[in-house]
């Protein structure tokens, strides 16, 4: 019995000792994890949002630290997720002591320095994401020891050197997601028969400096869904022997030096290798050196194919009619090749086509009328070919046609009046052809044109149609180098959005209409080489918006004052007008001796006319008195009207007070004009500065919907980055929104100092403003009591207060969101239609899917915001790029990304930075500009599903702003008082949303 007790006691003693030992070991491991994290924290030099505050508190258990997740059983750290926390500094090697770590995500921060080779000790690591930082150096070969790693993302850093073979040859082939894109990695892709990626589904290596051929060993990666190798220096023949990926959906090989087979003459083997890829959706082979004819087996490509890019190659010969077998294709791009022959009429069988690019080839023959049967066609670009014949009438049957580009061909005949039925057409460019006849009134009356009309360099005759005045949304009209005659109609003043007007090289005669100078946005006017007579209107000479004027080779006369827009012109703008005089260098002087005969003649005339003038003056005074009485009566009518403001909680401001505050809505108080009315500045009796947005009551239903929409949105939303409403004034014939006056005006004024401002914004201010706008838009999309889609985000709709805080304004065409649907306040449908042009927003900022009839969406606002970012960095309005480059701002920047951005970045730094002698920090500022460009490109992707949300954008810009405000390199750009205010603001997260 005693022996049994002793044995039982011994057994329990052993168990207790063992348990105490295990517990002690776990406790020691936890202490080790904590000390490793503290060492990691010491390497961080900036934490503006106090993300790591919990790490510094002794009362908080390590497993409850921000961004930390532990194993429930052992309390060991298994995950660190500090994505997008605005952290700077270096990544400490001490993190390698976290032996149980499975997930490490430090992406979207500001970490610098090298990737610690000690990360190779984290043998349990399954996910590693260090993307979107400023890491440099080589990828450590020690990372090849991570045998459990299945997700690796090092995208968008500054890594160089070769991809270590050990990374792809770690013996386990566990990697399923690999993204090393947008770095400066060189060398070959390290794959061979002994080194394979058997499990990889996503291999993204785009935008590096990789060389050599695509390795044959990649054929063993049968799980591949997405292969992106574009924008490298890869060469050799297209990889027809290795394309055995049954799951492949996206294959991007553009921007390399690939050639076709048989000495760059045969594309057939490669297309044959793709025929069994039944899931393939997008194939991009653009911007290579591919030669040979398009083989007939192009029609055997998978029916699942949605986009096909072969542009900018050396492909020749005709387009095979078999291509019509690709019935699900929505985009076909064969532009900038050497294709010849005719356009196959069988393209009409591809009923889902939305965009066709065949420009810059040698295609000939007539344009097939069968193209008019592609019901979803929104863009047709056949420019810069050798096409002949007339323009098909069948284009009138294309309900979705937005852009028709036929310039630089050999087209003849007349402009078909039926084009006037293309009620959604935004761009019509028929320039540099042999088209004759008159401009049809039906085409001139296309109110849908929002971008430009270009009929220049043809053989057009006749007068300018009065119907042109109906194009109230068009940006540019070019009718130059034709045989047009007659007078320039004054009614062109109705084209209120017009920025560029070119009527040069015609036979126009008569005076230049005074009304042209009153176009509110006109920037360039060319009427040279005509037969115009009379004086140049003062409205043009003194216009504040006009920057380019050409009056040369006409019969103008009179004095040219050296002021206003004229002061920046040279004699070249006035050549060939012998009767002009003025103080412009090279122009004859106007100083002449007075004619005494004229003086003797004018004296009796004046004496005789004086009694008549007195009589007329008396009648004029009585008429003015009568008018004043009518105005007073009108005021009383408004003041005594029973209808008051819709919401009693807003202060009551009468119509009379608004009259007094704005000087009777005088022109001197006018600070802006828009689609639905005018904005005036004013000062109330209590010295409150206000902006009065007076709605145009003649706009009928559009006006009423805009007023109701904007008022309801403004009264329901409240955020520090949204304009607030003071009150409204709603009467039967007068409706206005009263808003606080923003002393620093709109962002547009600061981006383009020619608008009357001499001071430019610096880069820190720009980042702050962009962050403010993103915060306001994120609130509208995700946090507002009523979710709002703005639909018209652009620089003129962003106002700046005393502290240069940005406020989003102008909700006249905004949409409310109910669930996943967007709805108008006056109409439950949110789709775009030709009869409701106000929904489309502003030209250049409109998301491409809107042009295809898609509903208003938050992704559309993200696109507009991305355009805004690119506009700020490039210093070019999107409309300017569209007119001069023939492409969107997104496409223009993307063509230069990533290796041709130096010019854009340098010019951005010249415009946006005011530091000097800081060459050592130049790289810092370049990186900031590059980050803005990359974010802008992400937001403006054609596919709305791939764009980030405004929450993501706000977070990204927030961390960039935080980093700038706390980085010593930016101290010369930040006023200490403002910086202190910003930091105080960051400490209180309650201030982010005013409730």
Return the closest-CA partner of residue 454 out of 430, 488, 421, 426. 430
- Per-residue confidence band for 173, with pLDDT thresholds at 50, 70 and 90: low
Is pLDDT of 52 > 90?
no
Which CATH number fits the domain 487-589, given the four candidates 3.40.50.300, 3.40.50.1440, 3.40.50.2020, 3.80.10.10? 3.80.10.10
CA separation for the pair 98, 362 (Å, rounded): 64
Q: What's residue 30's pLDDT?
A: 56
The tokens of 306 are what? 């949605």
The alpha carbon dihedral of 613, 619, 625, 630 has a sign of negative
Regarding predicted confidence, which is higher, 6 or 946? 946
Is pLDDT of 668 > 90?
no
Q: What's residue 887's pLDDT?
A: 79
Is pLDDT of 840 > 80?
no
For residues 760-773, average pLDDT: 89
Q: Which CATH superfamily is domain 24-105 in?
A: Ribonuclease Inhibitor (3.80.10.10)
921 CA to centre of own chain: 28
Regarding predicted confidence, which is higher, 328 or 633? 328
Q: Where are the alpha helices (DSSP H) in 366-477?
A: 441-444
Q: What is the DSSP letter of 192?
A: B
Share of the chain above pLDDT 70, in %: 78
Sequence ranges of the binding site for ATP: 693
Sequence ranges of the binding site: 693
Longest Cα separation, the chain: 151
Q: pLDDT, tens digit, for every residue of 195-232? A: 889 899 999 999 999 999 999 999 989 999 999 999 99
Is pLDDT of 729 > 70?
yes
For residues 433-443, average pLDDT: 95
CA separation for the pair 679, 662 (Å, rounded): 10
Is pLDDT of 301 > 90?
yes
- Per-residue confidence band for 732, with pLDDT thresholds at 50, 70 and 90: low
CA separation for the pair 744, 951 (Å, rounded): 27
For residues 658-670, average pLDDT: 79
Q: Where are the alpha helices (DSSP H) in 875-967?
A: 878-885, 889-895, 902-912, 922-939, 950-966
Is pLDDT of 165 > 70?
yes
Q: What's residue 608's pLDDT?
A: 41
- Per-residue confidence band for 613, with pLDDT thresholds at 50, 70 and 90: very low
Question: How is 235-276 classified by DSSP, letter by letter?
Answer: EEE--TTT---TT--EEE--SSEEE-HHHHTB-HHHHHHHTT
Q: pLDDT, tens digit, for every residue of 708-719? A: 555 666 666 678
For residues 964-988, average pLDDT: 43
Which sequence spans correspond to the domains of the chain? 24-105, 487-589, 598-631, 641-741, 745-830+838-977
The tokens of 623 are what? 């008429």
SS3 per residue for 654-673:
CHHHHHHHCCCCCHHHEEEE
- Region of 428 on the Ramachandran plot (φ > 0 left; ψ -120 to 50 alpha; else beta): beta
Is pLDDT of 161 > 60?
yes
Is pLDDT of 979 > 90?
no
Mean pLDDT is highest, among 22-31, 38-47, 363-372, for 363-372
Report strand pairing: 677-683 vs 689-695: antiparallel
Q: Are 205 and 231 in contact (CB under 8 A)?
A: no
Q: What's residue 827's pLDDT?
A: 36
Q: What is the DSSP letter of 783?
A: I
Q: Do domains 641-741 and 745-830+838-977 have the same CATH topology?
A: no
Return the closest-CA partner of residue 96 out of 62, 123, 76, 64. 123
Task: State in Å, rounded, how far the first CA of the chain is from the last one.
Answer: 77
**Backbone phi and psi for residue 91, each to the nearest 5 degrees, phi listed first:** -90, 115
- Per-residue confidence band for 340, with pLDDT thresholds at 50, 70 and 90: very high
**Apex CA 879: angle with CA 497 and CA 886, to 5°?**
125
Share of the chain above pLDDT 90, in %: 45
- Per-residue confidence band for 745, with pLDDT thresholds at 50, 70 and 90: confident
How many other CB atoms are there within 10 angstroms of residue 790's CB atom? 28
The pTM of the full predicted model, rounded to 2 decimals, is 0.71
Is pLDDT of 363 > 70?
yes
For residues 664-685, average pLDDT: 75
DSSP helix/strand/coil, 385: coil
- Per-residue confidence band for 815, with pLDDT thresholds at 50, 70 and 90: low
Is pLDDT of 368 > 90?
yes
Is pLDDT of 679 > 70?
yes
**Apex CA 643: angle with CA 637 and CA 644, to 5°?**
105
Q: What's residue 539's pLDDT?
A: 84
For residues 346-358, average pLDDT: 94
- Per-residue confidence band for 702, with pLDDT thresholds at 50, 70 and 90: very low
CA separation for the pair 33, 40 (Å, rounded): 11
Q: What's residue 7's pLDDT?
A: 44
Is pLDDT of 495 > 80?
yes
Adjacency order of strands within the sheet including 821-823 = 787-789, 815-818, 821-823
Helices and strands: H and E segment counts in the chain: 18, 52
The tokens of 837 are what? 């042009």
Strand-pairing partners, residue 195, are: 192
Is pLDDT of 735 > 80?
no
Q: What's residue 967's pLDDT?
A: 62
Q: What's residue 817's pLDDT?
A: 59
H or E element in which residue 987 lies: helix 976-987
C-alpha to C-alpha distances, 284 to 306, 349, 403, nearest whole angstrom: 11, 22, 23
Regarding predicted confidence, which is higher, 822 or 675? 675
- Which CATH number is associated with domain 641-741? 3.30.200.20
How many other CB atoms are there within 10 angstroms of residue 402's CB atom? 25
CA separation for the pair 406, 382 (Å, rounded): 5
State the catalytic residues.
Answer: 792
- Per-residue confidence band for 753, with pLDDT thresholds at 50, 70 and 90: low
Is pLDDT of 802 > 50?
yes
Q: What's residue 759's pLDDT?
A: 56
Q: pLDDT, tens digit, for every residue of 405-431? A: 999 999 999 999 999 998 889 899 999
Burial class of residue 112 in the structure, from the number of CB atoms within 10 Å of its CB (0-12 exposed, 13-18 middle, 19+ buried): middle
Report strand pairing: 579-582 vs 677-683: unpaired
Is pLDDT of 839 > 60?
no
Q: pLDDT, tens digit, for every residue of 879-923? A: 888 877 777 898 889 888 877 888 888 888 888 764 433 444 577
The tokens of 568 are what? 């920046």
Is pLDDT of 509 > 90?
yes
Q: pLDDT, tens digit, for every residue of 937-950? A: 999 988 888 889 99
Poorest-pLDDT segment among 4-13, 89-98, 371-380, 404-413:
4-13
How many other CB atoms are there within 10 angstroms of residue 621's CB atom? 10
For residues 675-697, average pLDDT: 77
Is pLDDT of 615 > 80?
no
User: Length of the chain in residues, anyone?
Assistant: 995
Q: What is the mean pLDDT of the chain?
A: 80
**Apex CA 396: angle with CA 390 and CA 399, to 5°?**
140
Burial class of residue 706 in the structure, from the number of CB atoms within 10 Å of its CB (0-12 exposed, 13-18 middle, 19+ buried): buried
Report helix, strand and coil shares of the chain as percent, to nearest 5.
35, 20, 45
Which CATH number fits the domain 745-830+838-977, given the four candidates 3.40.190.10, 3.40.640.10, 1.20.140.10, 1.10.510.10? 1.10.510.10
For residues 843-867, average pLDDT: 85
């Amino acid at each position: 019995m005693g022996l049994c007790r002793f044995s039982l006691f011994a057994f329990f003693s052993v168990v207790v000792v063992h348990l105490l030992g295990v517990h002690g070991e776990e406790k020691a491991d936890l202490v080790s994890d904590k000390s490793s994290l503290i060492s990691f924290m010491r390497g961080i030099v900036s934490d503006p949002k106090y993300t790591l505050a919990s790490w510094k508190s002794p009362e908080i258990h390590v497993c409850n630290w921000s961004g930390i997740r532990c194993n429930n059983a052992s309390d060991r750290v298994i995950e660190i997720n500090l994505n997008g926390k605005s952290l700077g500094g270096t990544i400490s090697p001490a993190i390698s002591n976290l032996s149980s770590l499975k997930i490490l995500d430090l992406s979207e921060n500001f970490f610098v320095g090298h990737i610690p080779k000690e990360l190779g000790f984290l043998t349990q690591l399954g996910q590693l994401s260090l993307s979107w930082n400023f890491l440099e150096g080589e990828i450590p070969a020690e990372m090849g020891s991570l045998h459990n790693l299945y997700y690796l993302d090092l995208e968008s850093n500054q890594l160089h050197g070769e991809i270590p073979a050990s990374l792809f040859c770690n013996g386990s082939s566990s990697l399923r997601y690999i993204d090393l894109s947008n770095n400066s990695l060189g060398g070959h892709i390290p794959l061979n028969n002994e080194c394979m990626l058997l499990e990889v589904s996503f291999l993204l290596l785009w935008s590096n400096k990789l060389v050599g051929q695509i390795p044959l060993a990649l054929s063993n990666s049968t799980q591949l869904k997405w292969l992106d190798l574009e924008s490298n220096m890869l060469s050799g023949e297209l990889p027809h022997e290795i394309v055995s990926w049954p799951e492949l959906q996206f294959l991007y090989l553009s921007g390399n030096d690939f050639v076709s087979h048989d000495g760059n003459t045969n594309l057939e083997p490669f297309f044959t290798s793709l025929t069994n890829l039944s899931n393939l959706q997008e194939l991009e082979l653009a911007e290579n050196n591919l030669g040979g004819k398009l083989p007939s087996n192009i029609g055997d490509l998978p029916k699942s194919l949605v986009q096909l890019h072969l542009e900018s190659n050396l492909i020749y010969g005709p387009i095979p009619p078999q291509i019509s077998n690709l019935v699900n294709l929505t985009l076909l791009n064969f532009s900038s090749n050497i294709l010849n022959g005719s356009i196959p009429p069988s393209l009409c069988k591809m009923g889902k086509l939305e965009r066709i690019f065949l420009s810059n080839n040698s295609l000939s023959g007539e344009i097939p009328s069968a193209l008019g049967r592609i019901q979803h066609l929104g863009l047709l670009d056949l420019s810069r070919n050798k096409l002949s014949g007339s323009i098909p009438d069948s284009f009138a049957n294309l309900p979705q046609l937005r852009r028709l580009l036929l310039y630089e061909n050999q087209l003849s005949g007349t402009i078909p009046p039926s084009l006037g039925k293309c009620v959604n057409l935004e761009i019509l460019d028929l320039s540099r052809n042999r088209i004759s006849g008159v401009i049809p009134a039906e085409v001139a009356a296309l109110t849908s044109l929002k971008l430009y009309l270009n009929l220049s360099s043809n053989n057009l005759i006749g007068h300018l149609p009065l119907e042109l005045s109906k194009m109230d949304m068009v940006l540019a009209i070019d009718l130059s180098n034709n045989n047009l005659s007659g007078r320039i109609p004054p009614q062109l003043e109705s084209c209120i959005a017009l920025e560029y007007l070119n009527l040069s090289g015609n036979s126009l005669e008569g005076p230049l209409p005074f009304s042209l100078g009153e176009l509110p946005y006109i920037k360039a006017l060319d009427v040279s080489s005509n037969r115009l007579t009379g004086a140049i209107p003062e409205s043009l000479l003194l216009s504040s918006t006009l920057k380019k004027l050409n009056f040369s080779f006409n019969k103008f006369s009179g004095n040219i004052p050296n002021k206003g827009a004229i002061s920046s012109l040279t004699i070249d703008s006035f050549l060939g007008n012998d009767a002009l005089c003025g103080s412009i260098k090279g122009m004859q002087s106007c100083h002449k001796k007075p004619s005494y005969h004229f003086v003797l003649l004018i004296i009796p005339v004046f004496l005789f006319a004086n009694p008549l003038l007195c009589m007329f003056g008396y009648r004029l005074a009585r008429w003015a008195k009568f008018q004043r009485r009518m105005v007073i009566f009108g005021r009383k009518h408004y003041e005594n009207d029973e209808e008051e403001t819709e919401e009693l909680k807003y202060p009551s401001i009468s119509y009379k007070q608004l009259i007094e505050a704005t000087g009777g809505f005088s022109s001197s108080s006018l600070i802006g004009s828009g689609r639905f009315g005018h904005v005036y500045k004013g000062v109330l009796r209590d010295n409150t500065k206000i902006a009065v947005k007076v709605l145009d009551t003649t706009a009928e239903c559009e006006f009423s919907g805009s007023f109701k929409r904007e008022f309801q949105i403004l009264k329901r939303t409240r955020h520090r980055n949204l304009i607030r409403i003071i009150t409204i004034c709603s009467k039967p014939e007068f409706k206005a929104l009263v808003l606080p006056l923003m002393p620093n005006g709109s962002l547009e004024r600061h981006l383009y100092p020619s608008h009357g401002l001499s001071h430019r914004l610096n880069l820190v201010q720009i980042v702050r403003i962009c962050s403010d706008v993103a915060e306001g838009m994120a609130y509208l999309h995700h946090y507002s009591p009523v979710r709002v889609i703005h639909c018209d985000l652009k620089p003129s709709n962003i106002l700046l207060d005393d502290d240069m805080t940005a406020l989003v304004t102008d909700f006249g065409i905004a949409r409310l969101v109910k669930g996943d649907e967007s709805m108008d306040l006056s109409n439950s449908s949110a789709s775009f239609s030709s009869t409701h042009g106000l929904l489309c927003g502003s030209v250049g900022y409109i998301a491409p899917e809107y042009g295809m009839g898609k509903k208003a969406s938050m992704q559309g606002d993200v696109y507009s915001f991305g355009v805004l970012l690119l506009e700020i960095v490039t210093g070019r309005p999107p409309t300017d790029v569209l007119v001069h480059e023939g492409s969107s701002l997104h496409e223009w920047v993307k063509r230069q990304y990533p290796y041709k951005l130096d010019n854009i970045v340098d010019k951005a730094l010249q415009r946006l930075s005011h530091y000097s002698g800081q060459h050592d920090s130049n790289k810092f500022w370049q990186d900031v500009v590059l980050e803005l460009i990359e974010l802008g490109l992400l937001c403006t992707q054609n596919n709305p599903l791939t764009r980030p949300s405004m929450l993501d954008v706000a977070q990204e810009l927030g961390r960039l702003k935080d980093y700038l405000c706390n980085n010593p390199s930016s101290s010369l750009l930040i006023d200490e008082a403002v910086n202190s205010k910003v930091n105080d603001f960051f400490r209180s997260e309650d201030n982010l949303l005013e409730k």
